[in-house]
Amino acid sequence: MQLRVPPPEPVAEGGRAERRRSARPSARERVTVPLSRALAPLTPYIRRLAPYARRLKPLYPRPNRTGWRRWIPSWRQWIGGILGAFSLLGALLVTAYALTDIPSNLNTYATQQDNVYFWSDGTPMARTGWVQRQAMPLKDIPEDVRWAVLAAENQNFYTDPGVSVKGLTRALYRTVGQGDTEGGSTITQQYVKNVYLTQNRTITRKFTEAMIALKLDNKMSKDQILEGYLNTSWFGRGTYGIQRAAQAYYGKDVSKLNASEAAMLASLLKGASLYDPTLGKANHQRAEERWTWILDRMVKIGKLSPRERATYKTFPEPLKSNPLYNTGEQSDYLVELASQYAKKAGHLTDKQFDLGGYQIYTTFDRKREKALTDAVTQARKKAGRENPKAAKNGHYGGASVATDGRILAVYGGPDHRKQGYNESNATTVPAGSAFQPFVYAAGLEHGAHLTRGGPATPVTPDSVYDGDDGVPVTTPEGPYWDRSGKKVAAHNEGRKSYGRITLRQALTQSVNTPFMQLGMDTGLERVRQTAEASGLLPSSMGPQVPALSLGSSTPSAIRMASGYATFAAGGTHTEPYSVRRITRNGAPVALTVPRAHRAIGAQVAKDVSAALVDSFRATHPQAAAAEPGAGGKAGTTEKDTASWYAGTADSVSTAVVVYRIDLAKSLEPLPLEGLAGTSSDSVPYDLWSAATGLD
């Protein structure tokens, strides 16, 4: 008999360490043991619930049932399904709420506002911008206005969570059944739609709107939301926001609305095209019915007393059309000047300014602007009848500037929409003899330098110069020669000679030759400095040659008026400005205000002003009798390309220029060909006198 000996067990490779590792429980075992131990206390409960769980399990067809009942779930299964559906829906809503963020960027169009410009008397002048909107703080909106809107749109606004479950359900039903999402939005939801989302009618947009509304209601106060809603809602007539709506329909600020007018405006929120009463009889009937309903509802919710309600029996008829001012024709030139200055002085970027909301209070005087514009308009028509060939390319620029720098009126052109070229601010044609006062002021201020490097000889109004025509211009070294090798000589208008004449008389009679020589004696650099200090722009100054004293510089009408205002201000100059104050939605915007500085001595300014008064008296004695303090002089050019009149009356300096340029071909000035009249019947003077009220 053989004995079977079992083979020896194989020795594990790796020695003791390997044997220790193999003896350890697996990862699955390590997890299973503690998990089973943790669930051990729950085992009795799990066993008790197991039968119910098995019953809820949908077994189809159902056992122990016959016929159609085999396919109908039990009541337990119905309850389980409903609870599961609600649980899943709740989880989805919580997840969606957590994942939805309030957009950091507002809808730019929804928050964009217009900029409004005002005359110097505070009345509206013009409005610019893509939309008519001006945001108003809630504190400036009367409670009757607020509650008229809340009664019409969302009476439970202050207690609701920001969304309406009923409204969302109705929106879902209409989307599925009829293809739109109308109905039931709270004011918070409408505000979200206005400023964060689009107007697209989709269920996705409606759901996003609700989620943002819930978050916004937790983040912002109800008053903040209501303020935003009232300032972004559409009211028809091109207006957004309650302030512009009040102005468009009733011609007043929102702060002056009563409850009746507020109820009419609130009815427009349901659809301005259907409820603007001026658009037809059907609209009027709808508007009146809703107006009545809103007022009654205000009484019902305790926001309007029955006694006050009884006083509102007549429907508050709105204005037939929107009275808000649009730009057009001459006002565009004013807006152009004011907006450029506002951005510069208010340190505003183009982007900031274009977003709107600014109230720009200009320096423009409505009466002076009308007088100047009417006068030029009549002159244009007259020229078109009497001299159509010259009038075709005729241009008229004008400006009135106060001694403190305020631009009171300008004439920039016939219509900015057809000609954007602003003739009041153009530096195109020479000043001619209208430049003489600046040469005179430089001579009186600095004296004459008759020897090179020697002391200055004082110059006074009684200093005598040669007033003959064709007198050669001299320097301390002798005659002045031009580049062609010819002696430079000055000429008077009409080649007339006056003999020896004082500077004051020369300015009074507009004699050129003394001033051309005075400019050389004083120094052309000093003449330039005096003109620039008085208000003329460096970029408009002519070459530094003897012709500078004859008015080769090309100042604009605004700058010429500003320079003459320096003489009237006793020698102090204030840079011309067109905006005196800016606010944004009522809050002031800091402005860099121009300050007066000494340009020339007070006595020099007095002497120049006296000579201008003499000139005015000599050429227009009747007008001078009516305004003894008025002074001014005409300005002509050697080649008859421009005709000026500049002067001061009642502390306001006005400059008017008439010239000819074919803008379609060249910016080179053309001969006037009689367009500016004659020296005895000057068109620029007629316009000047009309602008100053002396005609």
Residues in the chain: 695
0.85 exceeded by pTM = no
Say if CB 128 and CB 578 are below 8 A apart. Answer: no
Which residues are registered as beta bridge partners of 474? 479
Which whole number is the average pLDDT over 112-129?
Answer: 89
pLDDT for 174: 55
List Cα–Cα distances, 430 to 419, 435, 533, 675, 683, in angstroms: 22, 9, 19, 17, 17
Token pair 């005015």 in the structure block, residue: 616
pLDDT for 141: 95
Q: Which residue has the higher pLDDT, 196 or 424?
A: 424
Tokens of 44: 């009795």
Which whole number is the average pLDDT over 670-689?
Answer: 91
Tokens of 90: 């709740």
- H or E stretch covering 518: helix 513-522
Mean pLDDT comparison of 177-191, 338-352, 415-429, highest-scoring range: 338-352
Confidence of residue 322 (pLDDT cuts 50, 70, 90): confident
Q: Crossing angle of helices 366-386/683-692, nearest 10°? A: 160
pLDDT for 131: 73
Tokens of 36: 């089973």
Backbone angles phi, psi at 132, to 5 degrees: -100, 100
Say if CB 627 and CB 523 are below 8 A apart. Answer: no
pLDDT for 186: 85
Residues ≥6 apart with Cβ < 8 Å to 70: 60, 61, 62
Tokens of 218: 């937790």
Give the mean pLDDT of the chain.
Answer: 85
List Cα–Cα distances, 409 to 124, 371, 402, 623, in angstroms: 16, 9, 10, 21
Q: What is the DSSP string of 298-320?
A: HHHTTSS-HHHHHH--S--PPPS
Task: Single out the residue of 430, 398, 455, 360 nearest to residue 688, CA to CA.
Answer: 398
Say if CB 400 and CB 409 are below 8 A apart. Answer: yes
Per residue in 122-131, is it b (16+ CB within 10 Å) or e — as a string? eeebbbbbeb
Q: How big is the CA angle at 456 (ends 452 and 457), to the nearest 5 degrees?
A: 115
pLDDT for 682: 93
Say if CB 555 and CB 563 are below 8 A apart. Answer: yes
Counting residues of the chain whose pLDDT is more than 90, the rounded percentage is: 56
Residues 167-208 have pLDDT tens digits of 655 555 555 544 443 445 888 888 887 776 555 555 555 666
Say if CB 550 and CB 638 are below 8 A apart. Answer: yes
Q: Cα–Cα distance between 550 and 433 in angstroms, integer?
A: 6
Token pair 């006296």 in the structure block, residue: 610
Number of other CB atoms surrounding residue 572 within 10 Å? 18
Tokens of 567: 């003489």
What residue type is assigned to position 291 of the chain?
Answer: W
Which whole number is the average pLDDT over 514-534?
Answer: 97
**Furthest-apart CA atoms within the chain: distance in Å:** 169
Which residues are registered as beta bridge partners of 572? 598
List Cα–Cα distances, 346 to 325, 340, 360, 416, in angstroms: 23, 10, 11, 25
Q: Cα–Cα distance between 36 and 549 in angstroms, integer?
A: 110
List Cα–Cα distances, 504 to 463, 476, 513, in angstroms: 8, 24, 13
Q: Which residue has the higher pLDDT, 179 or 428?
A: 428
- Kindly tell me if the per-residue pLDDT of 11 is higher than 60: no
- Kindly tell me if the per-residue pLDDT of 157 is higher than 60: yes
Residues 602-624 have pLDDT tens digits of 999 999 999 999 999 999 999 99
List Cα–Cα distances, 475 to 104, 288, 479, 481, in angstroms: 72, 87, 6, 10
Residues ≥6 apart with Cβ < 8 Å to 193: 185, 199, 205, 209
Which whole number is the average pLDDT over 55-65?
Answer: 63
- 273 phi-psi bin (left φ>0, alpha ψ -120 to 50, beta other): alpha
Cβ-based burial of 92 (10 A; exposed 0-12, middle 13-18, buried ≥19): exposed
Q: How big is the CA angle at 378 (ends 128 and 694), to the nearest 5 degrees?
A: 95
Q: Cα–Cα distance between 515 and 509 in angstroms, integer?
A: 12
- H or E stretch covering 150: helix 143-153
Pairing assessment for the beta strands 474-475 and 478-479 based on DSSP bridges? antiparallel
Say if CB 587 and CB 134 are below 8 A apart. Answer: no
Which residues are registered as beta bridge partners of 127? 116
pLDDT for 439: 98
Mean pLDDT comparison of 174-178, 222-226, 306-310, highest-scoring range: 306-310
pLDDT for 96: 55
Pairing assessment for the beta strands 407-411 and 358-362 based on DSSP bridges? unpaired
Which whole number is the average pLDDT over 492-510?
Answer: 95
